[in-house]
Amino acid sequence: MKYVGMQTQIRRNNTKSVLLLLMFPAIILGMTWVFLALLNFFGNGYYDEYGDVAHQLNLETVNYYFLTSLPWVVGGVAVWFLIAYFMNAKMIQRSTGAYPITRKENPRIYNIVENLCMTCGMDMPKINIVDDSQLNAFASGINKDSYTVTVTTGLMAKLDDRELSGVIGHELTHIRNHDTRLLITSIIFVGIISTVMSLVVRMLYHSFYYGGGRSRGSNGKDNGLSVIVVLFIGLICCAIAYFFTLVTRFAISRKREYMADAGGAELCGDPLALASALKKISKEPGLDGVKRADIAQLFIIQPDEMASGILGFMNSLFSTHPDTEKRIAVLEQF
């Protein structure tokens, strides 16, 4: 694997962060236009000269309603993004059940993190613990005030100091490379799409259960589309948007994990220690109680439970994590 310097990787990730901020809104706005276009197309049904039902797309009308809804869509996404962006630490902490510790409460883990930070000349992040007998760890945060390294109690109990140093070094490298900021940006936007899609599914279910009436325009006339059809079109658009957000997240190169492995091995000075730690973690990865596949993208190894269900399958298919065995093989080459 071609060597890439730390500053080069940071610049690349900063560039990707900007591109993500542009790509995700573009996907949302694009699907909003497609949704309005489909409503217009199927809602403008008429009988042709042969008595068959035909449809016609009125681009002028579609563009008018799109421009009318644009401020509301942009404003809603912007508010959602800002709230989630600055509340991400609490969101992740609540989802994982993590809590902070001090040097007095756990001098072992605190000293390992501190020594590694001194080695690479970075500020000390916060340290969180999750009461989980299995093994896992992750880094999170968007700036110096929120950077956090989280480990499970099982990880501390079952790894020796060498292996634990390798894992902590891996997570610190994510912070140094600004990987956490990049992933949290993607988590928020994917979360927006998945939440809207879940709401549409629920509304569609209730419409089927209670019966869907005809939707009417502002003039009170029947526009030819039932509520169920409108929701079904919305579901299709949400599914397409969700697919493209996953593809965009997948564009966050899997080399990110290899870079973090290399950085962790360099910090602890023992690539085989990190390889050994990954072997142990892969056998019993913890944090499987976290049902949010987007947050699981932060974990050093994603639990198998995350692969269940359609959304779980999609997240697994477009996971930003490479195969663990390949990561171990790379480390063992050093």
Active site residues: 171
The two structure tokens encoding residue 27:
């996907």
- Give dist(CA 34, CA 38) in Å, integer: 6
Query: What pairing do the DSSP bridges indicate for beta strands 222-226 and 214-216?
Result: antiparallel
Distances (CA, A) of 178 to 6, 14, 171, 266, 310: 10, 7, 11, 18, 30
- Give dist(CA 82, CA 88) in Å, integer: 10
DSSP string for residues in 168-185 = HHHHHHHHHTTHHHHHHH
Place of tokens 């799409």: 193
Strand (E) or helix (H) holding 63: helix 59-86
Output the CA angle 257-262-265, nearest 5 degrees.
Answer: 125
